[in-house]
Amino acid sequence: MSNFGDDSENEMDRYAMDRPPSSYGSMQSDDHEDIEDDDFEEPVLKQETRVRLHRPDSPETAITERTNTNQSSIYTGGLVLRQPVMHIGESSVYSYGINREPSFVEPSELQSDIRTEAGIDEESNYRDVQEQQNDSAAVEVQEEQTEATTEEDDSDEIVVRYEVPKDPPPTPEEGLGLQFQHKHGSFTLRHQMVRCLSQLHPGEIAYFKRCLSTHCRFRKNYSRIADLNDPLDLVDKLIEVSGMGEALHLTIRCLHNVGKDNLSVYLKKTCRRVVLQHDLKMAHDRRYYSLYEGRCRPGQQRYISDVYVEPVTVIRGNREPINLENEVQRIPYTIVETQIRAADIFRPLPQEQKPIRTVMMTGIPACGVTVAVNKFIIDWMEGKNNQDFQFVFPLPAKELHLGKDGDQSFLEMLGSFFAEADDINFIEKPDCLCLFIIDALELCKHNLDFKNNEVITSARTKAPLDALLTSLIKGTMLPYARVWITSHVSAAYRIPSQLIDRYVELRGFTDEKKEEYFTKRTTDPELGRKVYNHMKRSKALEIICHIPVFSWMVAFIFERGFRDPEYGKHPPGITAFYSQFIVVQMNRSFEKYRGCSVEAQKWKDEDKMFIEMMGKMSYRLILEGRDWFTVDDLSSVNLTYEDLRSRDELTTEVKRKSEDFRTWVFKFVHYTVQEYMAAMYVYVAFRKHGKNVIEPSKMSWFQGANKDRPVIDLYRPAIDRAVASPNGQLDMFLRFLVGLVTPGTEDNLRGYLLNHYHPKAKGTEEVLKHINKKLKENIHPDRKRNLEWCLVELEEGKKDEGR
């Protein structure tokens, strides 16, 4: 009688006899006609988990060799399965270690099921030896697990012993970050999945595959797995199609659907870290895959990989964070800094021996720090870099105070921000390398009192959130974790310098990066090249576009402009861009400090007054030849440090001499922004208040009647002063001032610094005539060139009015 066609009954017989399945070809068993397979029940086993140790000399080898001689067909390169026994939950699970052997035996239709006395004796001897081996292995494993349980009674993962390879992995290339370690044993889940699937009989395997077919990856491509019955092949195909994390997720879900809850729970606990990592990556993908350039507006997000260009990142030295390059005055840099890839900020330099635990990243507003963080997370999620980090937890500083009130443990706090990370006790283990990102420290409302806060050493100890944060940064809690903090320069001093292992700064785009950005962000590369070449026609725009947000504004406007075939014949104007930049940066400050509601986004009277007074201070600084200011300069125009701190998207701190904020030194994000602010103040004072700040003595006492006076009264002395300037310190100021007079650029101020229905400017033609008159005079070539650019501003402003 042939046993061909009764695979399911034969498999159950072999499970009952404690023998490996014939589908793996290690041994062909005989049938028992007197055993009813339908009455088979899985034995009830003990609660503890036992993993059998693999022995080098197994009695299976001899039995397999003797059994193979009776086969009718022999294949090479097959699998031989060792047979340790595990006790999982309420039912028995037989797991098989997989070893490659030179032969694979397939059951033959012609094989006889007559059992000889010698065969019976062999099987009896095999079972006796196997039982003795199982008993001794179980004792050894139970002793090892008792020691592990003593160390950690509340472990939430089943630890499977894993021997780390002795040879270190190859050193990764630059830009790949931390990838110096071998993967943790729990991440080698392929073997664990095979062990669990090998417990299913053919009918359950078929049901398992049908469950897989309901998933989107296999719904239309069920043929990929339809013919796969070997667990190893099935697992390989799962990982190939859906990746490690998704393959594990599908396996756990489908095992539950098949009714193998014990295997599902075991696999989930054995690969607990992989499950958490997969859930975290899905959460990060939903949150960080898109990017809002400039302001957050629904429907205007872009996929981050489509627009992101890595800015220049340097290890901070003594150089100021401001780009001092200017169209009129070139200031060469003499300080050499160490450049580093954004992905390598935790990677020690060749001469550094100590690991980099805490990194502080700063940069001027709008330089793209938060975007760099998002791209770092996405690259880790996609497996491109920093794969040594098992988990990445972003903790936006703006939201840290929104957690649970009162004392809580760090694990509880983490669970309130990431539901996937609820109760992960293994996070304190030395082999669990995590990264915590505290983004935008300037928005953190906690005191961060490093001197007086309680020192926390365990992630399970309940304490105020402020103490948890300071302990995390100090390293007393989770010393094996890494911490990445981003901040404005002024807030970076909240962290003691001795706690920071590395300071890095974003410098913005180089010329090569600018070209890459303009061509990458559009689906039409030819359009991107047109935009880039048109931008380069203005040296002022080419310089200021090192700020990523400014590059976005230029690209957005030029891409729309090139829809007109006649666009781009003349050099571009710059005044409209600076007007929009001020508005965008102020709105970004409102989002950060007030919120994103409609009411919070409204410009208040104090916001408009802040812009005017900052412009007034800027005009004074230009006349004095200064590009920096202090709190005393703010006080001279009735502003305070708090006014500046809550609207910090236009300026940055460059020097701190002491803890007294009155000694701190500030600058605008670029000197041209200061020049624009000065020009805007002079223009608004004339148009809104009727004041000529350039020649105040020539205005009448009754200024209310002067609001509609011709603008030539303002521009004649301004042009004369700029032309007479020996060093060109008023060149850019004059260019902005001339650009503001045209209706197209003046409209950018309406609703902010001017009323919506403010009367149009009068006398713009007189301004044009006066500039042409000065061009005919014998003036300095640089001043003459600047007047020609002023004519460009006038021409561009007229075109903007028509669009």
Nearest to 282 by CA among 382, 367, 175: 382
Dist CA 457 CA 447 (whole Å) = 20
Q: Is 196 exposed, middle or buried (0-12, 13-18, 19+ CB in 10 A)?
A: buried
Q: State which amino acid sits at residue 735.
A: R
The pLDDT score that the predictor gives to residue 311 is 93
Residue 235 tokens, joined: 């697992």
Residue 518 near residue 471, CB atoms below 8 Å: no
Burial of residue 302 (number of CB atoms within 10 Å: 0-12, 13-18, 19+): middle
Q: Which residues contact 289 (CB under 8 A, 6 or more apart)?
A: 303, 304, 378
Do the beta carbons of residue 7 and residue 202 sit within 8 Å? Answer: yes
Nearest CA-CA partner of 417 in 397, 432, 433: 397
**Do strands 391-396 and 434-439 pair parallel, antiparallel, or not at all (unpaired)?**
parallel
Query: By the 8 A CB rule, do 506 and 369 touch?
Result: yes
The conformation of residue 759, written as its DSSP 8-state character, comes to P
Cβ contacts of 207 within 8 Å, gap of 6 or more: 257, 258
- Is the Cβ–Cβ distance between 93 and 263 less than 8 Å? yes
Give the CA count within 13 Å in the CB-facing half-sphere of 491: 24
Q: In terms of DSSP bridges, do strands 358-363 and 482-486 run parallel, antiparallel, or are they unpaired?
A: parallel
Contact assessment for residue 431 and residue 416, using Cβ atoms and an 8 Å cutoff = no
pLDDT recorded at residue 698? 62
Rounded Cα gap, residues 639 and 655, in angstroms: 20
Question: Alpha helix locations (H) across 243-368?
Answer: 244-258, 261-270, 272-288, 304-307
Measure the CA–CA gap between 513 and 310, rounded to whole angstroms. 8
CA 406 to mean position of chain CA atoms = 30
pLDDT at 402: 83
Query: Per residue in 655-672, is it b (16+ CB within 10 Å) or e — as a string?
Result: eeeeeeeeebebbbbbbb
| Residue type at 187 in one-letter notation | F
Indicate the burial class of 430 (C-beta count within 10 angstroms; 0-12, 13-18, 19 or more).
exposed
- Give 484-542 pLDDT, tens digit per residue: 999 999 899 999 999 999 999 999 999 999 999 999 998 898 999 999 999 999 999 99
pLDDT value at position 718?
A: 95
Q: Choose among 202, 255, 256, 264: nearest CA to 227.
A: 202
Helix (H/G/I), strand (E/B), else coil: 357: coil
Show the DSSP H helices in 594-693 as ranges.
Answer: 605-624, 631-635, 641-645, 671-689
Residue whose tokens read 């042409």: 772
Which residues face 438 on adjacent strands?
395, 485
What radius of gyration do the chain's Cα atoms show?
Answer: 36
Pair 469, 400: CB distance under 8 Å? yes
Question: Which residue has 């209706």 as its token pair?
Answer: 743
Residues 6+ apart with CB under 8 A from 802: 744
Residue type, 548: P
Spell out, as residue ranges, where the chain has pLDDT lower than 50.
Answer: 1-155, 700-705, 802-803
C-alpha to C-alpha distance for 8 and 40, rounded to whole angstroms: 12
CA–CA dist 530, 555 (Å, integer):
10
The Cα–Cα gap between 408 and 465 comes to 7
- Count other C-beta atoms under 10 Å from residue 729's C-beta: 16
Structure tokens at 179: 């990838």
Task: Put the strands of the sheet holding 482-486 in their side by side order.
Answer: 338-339, 312-315, 502-508, 358-363, 482-486, 434-439, 391-396
Q: What is the pLDDT of residue 127?
A: 45
Residue type, 746: E
3-state secondary structure of 577: helix
Q: Are 543 and 322 in contact (CB under 8 A)?
A: no
CA distance 672 to 473: 38
**Spatial separation of the C-alpha atoms in residues 101 and 592, rounded to whole Å:** 63
pTM score: 0.78
Total Cβ atoms within 10 A of residue 312: 17
Which of 354, 347, 419, 425 shows the shortest CA–CA distance to 389? Answer: 347
Instruction: Give the pLDDT of residue 239.
Output: 86
Q: How far apart are the C-alpha atoms of 650 and 366, rounded to whole Å?
A: 9
- Residue 710 tokens read as 């011709």
Give percent of the chain above pLDDT 90. 44
Helices and strands, counts by H and E, the chain: 30, 17
335 DSSP 8-state letter: -
What's the pLDDT score for residue 2? 42
Q: Which amino acid is at 532?
A: Y
Count CA atoms within 13 Å of residue 145 on its CB side. Answer: 20
186-201 per-position pLDDT tens digit = 777 778 888 888 989 8
The dihedral formed by the CA atoms of 736, 738, 740 and 745, expressed in degrees to the nearest 10: -100
Report the C-alpha dihedral over residues 380, 385, 388, 394, rounded to 10 degrees.
Answer: -30
Reference 790, options 754, 745, 756; nearest CA is 745
Strands 651-655 and 290-291: unpaired
